[in-house]
């Protein structure tokens, strides 16, 4: 089985401060890890993914995530948060060896950036 | 162009109605997906089409009937739905679906369905 945990339902941060949205995963074999963002009344939008190689992945809108195999984590980060970053963030995992390649999504973390 | 379009944006239907949701992509993707999403919850996979053939059906009730007329179009036919089927229905596409993981999915804006 594969699973994703986003331990925080809600993250609040002041504009201009760094933000972190946490994600841990469990798979058999090597993981493929994704972050998606969902703005209100919209579909999910791809931010970044880790397949292999460099553990630090850079994505859209200044976001980045670090793959940590020993801690089975893939936390999303941004050095300076914007009010417009406020949205629902989903971490997802898929793998070659588990779940027929289908993605498993975490429960989501609502990020609120206050001016 | 990384756009997936869905129509209609909103749909209200009674439990005896028949309606269809439509999805279209012009990215040349060969895999298309239907998801159901309840408010503030993760999307739940319903169906996956790969090269216009149904690859995955996540034990979805038969009142939901998918159709993939060609590689750019995906429909979801709805009949005799229940109030608990009210949700946001998301379509997505990816370059392909190998069953090996790793595909980036591109989502449409969704159809918000209300069943009365």
- Nearest C-alpha of chain B: how many angstroms from A43? 4
Contact call for A103 and B40, based on CB within 8 A? no
Q: Which of A95, A102, A105 lies closest to B42 in CB terms?
A: A105
Q: Report the candidate in B13, B28, B34 with the shortest Cα–Cα distance to residue B79.
A: B13
Beta carbons within 10 angstroms of residue A1's beta carbon: 8
β partners of residue A109: A89
Non-local CB neighbours of A44 within 8 Å, separated by 6+ positions: A36, A37, A38, A90, B43, B90, B92, B105, B107
pLDDT averaged over every residue in chain B: 94
Asked whether the predicted pLDDT for residue B2 surpasses 90, the reply is no
Q: Which of B56, B104, B109 lies closest to A43 in CB terms?
A: B109
The CA distance from A76 to A43, in Å, is 19
- Tell me which residues of chain B, numbers 27 to 46, contact chain A at a CB-CB cutoff of 8 Å: 40-43, 45
- Compute the Cα dihedral for A105, A111, B1, B7 and give only its sign: positive
Q: How confident is the model at residue A111 (pLDDT cuts 50, 70, 90)?
A: very high
Give the lowest-confidence range in A18-32, A45-59, A89-103, B83-97: A89-103
The CA distance from A54 to A63, in Å, is 15
Q: Which residues of A touch B6 (CB under 8 A)?
A: 43
- Chain B within 8 Å of A96 (Cβ-Cβ)? yes
In our burial notation (b when 16+ CB lie closer than 10 A, e otherwise), range A71-106 reads ebbbbbebeebeeebbbbbbbbbbbbebbebbbbbb
Contact call for A101 and B41, based on CB within 8 A? no
Contact call for A41 and B112, based on CB within 8 A? yes
- Compute the Cα dihedral for B82, B87, B92, B97 and give only its sign: negative
High-pLDDT (> 70) share of chain A, %: 100
pLDDT digits (tens, 9 = 90+) for A48-74: 999 988 999 999 999 999 999 999 999
- Nearest C-alpha of chain B: how many angstroms from A19? 20
């Amino acid at each position: 089985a594969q699973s994703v945990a986003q331990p925080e339902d809600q993250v609040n941060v002041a504009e201009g401060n760094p933000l972190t949205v946490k994600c841990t995963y469990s798979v058999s074999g090597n993981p493929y890890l994704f972050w998606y963002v969902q703005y209100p009344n919209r579909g999910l939008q791809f931010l970044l993914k880790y397949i292999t190689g460099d553990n630090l992945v850079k994505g859209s809108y200044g976001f980045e995530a670090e793959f940590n195999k020993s801690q089975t984590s893939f936390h999303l980060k941004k050095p300076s948060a914007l009010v417009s970053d406020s949205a629902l963030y989903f971490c997802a995992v898929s793998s070659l060896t588990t779940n027929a390649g289908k993605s498993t999504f975490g429960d989501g973390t609502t990020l609120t950036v206050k001016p | 162009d990384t756009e997936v379009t869905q129509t209609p944006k909103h749909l209200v239907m009674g439990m005896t109605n028949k309606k269809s949701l439509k999805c279209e992509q012009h990215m040349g993707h060969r895999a298309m997906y239907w998801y159901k999403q309840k408010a503030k919850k993760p999307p739940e996979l319903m169906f996956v089409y790969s090269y216009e053939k149904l690859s995955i059906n996540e034990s979805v009730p038969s009142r939901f009937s998918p159709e993939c007329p060609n590689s750019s179009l995906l429909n979801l036919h709805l009949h005799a739905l229940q109030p608990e089927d009210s949700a946001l229905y998301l379509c997505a596409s990816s370059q392909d679906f190998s069953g090996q993981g790793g595909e980036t999915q591109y989502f449409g804006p969704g159809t918000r369905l209300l069943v009365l």
